[in-house]
């Protein structure tokens, strides 16, 4: 174990191998700001979205700017077979022995893919309560963290890492143009809609990477995790979801197409949601309307959507992109008498309709005008994206 820990923690011997890494400043600043509070910080999000890189950048910040002794920082990747037989408590005990650090001396613990550890939330609670330890941990599954939130009430905080937005995409591609220049931005924005925001793909542009990523998630996090007997049904289900991205989703209709039960269809949908491959949006209205109305579905990354469906409708990609910018807020779709408005963001009382190079029809205009909201926006181009920056959106 000691040899593996030394390999995972090169800063113990004076190295910080992060040359060439492009930081995501908005997340890095947030994560660094949590260093001084006591809470356990969980980073969640799609596989390969950059959670590990962000943790290592926090480690770099600790060493280079906070003056922390590198020996007081421990990083462990818990999906490594080497640690399969060791609990987090065992690993931490060996580490403290190695560096002769008492439980009263503060250490910084970074745990990658925490869900590979059985009863990890109980172990984290024990460490939190009994040792002087600041903990950061990552997970690519939201369902496994639901138990954690209950068990670690008041002790933990969750940060979801999302794909690159358009500004970050330009930064990663080293493209320097003002967002207000519509003619310059239009071709780059259309490239972004096809590329999406998974950092590795944005830099390497290897389409097979995205196909392989989805296969990994389907097999490791859904089929294997839930003991699915017929893998092809899960693959077909995913393709149907991608084709319906941006639309109201009928679970019954998918069940009929795949010849599975409605209960199975509901379960499979929840599995995809739990792995961050898709996101679901509820209708705005009464509790009954929210529960009984179909959810709208969006893909969590536009590059994944493009890899499986191609660019059939630019407007649906634009809508998907805007949803991804809004989803950390209290957002819904509006639907009345067969007429739909794309988004109502309740916590900032803002109604948003998207018309990418198109116009609202008469009935939409009437609903848009009649609905009682403090702010109303029509976003119809790349230039209009600047209007989103005026809103107090969460990320």
Q: Indicate if 139 and 253 belong to the same structural domain.
A: no
Tens of pLDDT, residue by residue over 141-182, are 876 666 565 567 678 899 999 999 999 999 999 999 887 777
- Expressed as residue numbers, the domain containing 293 is 166-388
According to the model, what pLDDT value does residue 244 have? 94
**What mean pLDDT do residues 91-114 have?**
95
**What mean pLDDT do residues 280-287 have?**
95
Q: Indicate if 115 and 212 belong to the same structural domain.
A: no
In a domain, 394, yes or no: no
In a domain, 116, yes or no: yes
C-alpha closest to that of 190 among 354, 302, 301, 297: 302
In a domain, 200, yes or no: yes
Q: Indicate if 250 and 350 belong to the same structural domain.
A: yes
Q: Quickly count helices (H) and strands (E) in the chain.
A: 19, 11
CA angle 204, 205, 206 (to 5 degrees): 95
According to the model, what pLDDT value does residue 395 have? 66
Q: What is the pTM of this model?
A: 0.91
Q: Indicate if 79 and 101 belong to the same structural domain.
A: yes
Q: Indicate if 74 and 185 belong to the same structural domain.
A: no
Q: Indicate if 99 and 155 belong to the same structural domain.
A: yes
In a domain, 395, yes or no: no
The enclosing domain of 141 has a CATH number of 3.40.50.300
Q: Indicate if 201 and 155 belong to the same structural domain.
A: no
In a domain, 137, yes or no: yes
Looking up tokens 């739990």, which residue turns up?
A: 274
According to the model, what pLDDT value does residue 338 have? 93
Tens of pLDDT, residue by residue over 63-85, are 999 999 999 999 999 988 899 88
Beta strands 133-139; 278-281: pairing state: unpaired
- % of the chain exceeding 90 in pLDDT: 76
C-alpha closest to that of 265 among 297, 217, 307: 297
The last residue of one of the domains, among 160, 175, 202, is 160
Q: Indicate if 172 and 100 belong to the same structural domain.
A: no
CA distance linking residue 349 with residue 299, whole number of Å: 25
Give the strand order in the sheet containing 339-345. Answer: 331-336, 339-345, 350-354, 375-379
CB neighbours (10 Å) of residue 118? 9
Task: State both tokens at 26.
Answer: 């908005």
In a domain, 308, yes or no: yes
Q: Indicate if 177 and 130 belong to the same structural domain.
A: no
In a domain, 310, yes or no: yes
Lowest-confidence region among 53-62, 80-89, 191-200, 260-269: 80-89
Number of separate domains in the chain: 2
What Rg value do the Cα atoms of the chain yield, rounded? 23
The enclosing domain of 173 has a CATH number of 1.10.10.10
CB neighbours (10 Å) of residue 25? 11
Task: State both tokens at 362.
Answer: 């008469």
Q: Indicate if 198 and 119 belong to the same structural domain.
A: no
Q: Indicate if 349 and 265 belong to the same structural domain.
A: yes
**What mean pLDDT do residues 317-324 have?**
94
In a domain, 393, yes or no: no
Residues in CB range of 393: below 8 A, 6 or more apart: 325, 326, 328, 329, 345, 348
The last residue of one of the domains, among 123, 144, 160, is 160
Q: Indicate if 273 and 345 belong to the same structural domain.
A: yes
The last residue of one of the domains, among 127, 160, 193, is 160
Q: Cβ distance 43 to 5 under 8 Å? A: no
């Amino acid at each position: 174990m000691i040899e593996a820990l030394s390999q995972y923690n090169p800063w113990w011997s004076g190295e910080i191998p992060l040359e060439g890494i492009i930081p995501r400043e908005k997340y890095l600043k947030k994560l660094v700001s949590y260093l001084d509070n006591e809470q356990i910080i969980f980073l969640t999000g799609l596989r390969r979205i950059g959670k590990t890189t962000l943790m290592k950048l926090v480690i770099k910040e600790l060493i280079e700017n906070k003056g922390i002794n590198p020996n007081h920082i421990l990083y462990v990747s818990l999906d490594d077979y080497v640690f399969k037989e060791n609990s987090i408590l065992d690993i931490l005990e060996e580490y403290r022995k190695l560096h002769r650090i008492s439980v009263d001396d503060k250490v910084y613990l970074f745990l990658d893919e925490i869900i590979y550890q059985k009863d990890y939330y109980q172990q984290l609670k024990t460490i939190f309560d009994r040792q002087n330890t600041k903990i950061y941990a990552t997970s690519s599954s939201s369902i496994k963290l639901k138990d954690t939130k209950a068990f670690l009430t008041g002790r933990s905080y969750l940060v979801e890492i999302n794909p690159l937005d358009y500004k970050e995409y330009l930064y990663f591609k080293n493209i320097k143009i003002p967002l207000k220049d519509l003619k310059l931005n239009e071709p780059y924005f259309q490239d972004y809609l096809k590329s999406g925001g998974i950092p590795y793909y944005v830099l390497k542009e290897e389409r097979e990477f995205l196909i392989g990523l989805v296969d990994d998630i389907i097999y490791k996090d859904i089929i294997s995790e839930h003991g699915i007997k017929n893998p092809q049904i899960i693959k077909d289900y995913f393709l149907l979801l991608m084709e319906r991205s941006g639309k109201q989703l009928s679970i019954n209709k998918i069940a009929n197409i795949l010849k599975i039960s409605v209960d199975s269809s509901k379960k499979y949908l929840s599995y995809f949601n739990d792995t961050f491959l898709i996101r679901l949006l509820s209708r705005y209205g009464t509790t009954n309307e929210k529960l009984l109305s179909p959810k709208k579905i969006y893909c969590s990354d536009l590059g994944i959507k493009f890899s499986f469906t191609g660019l059939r409708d630019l407007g649906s990609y634009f809508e998907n992109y805007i949803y991804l910018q809004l989803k950390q807020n209290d957002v819904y779709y509006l639907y009345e008498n067969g007429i739909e408005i794309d988004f109502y963001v309740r916590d900032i009382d803002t109604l948003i309709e998207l018309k990418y190079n198109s116009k609202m029809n008469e009935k939409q205009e009437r609903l848009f005008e009649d609905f009682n909201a403090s702010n109303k926006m029509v976003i119809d181009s790349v230039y209009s994206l600047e209007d989103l920056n005026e809103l107090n959106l969460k990320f």
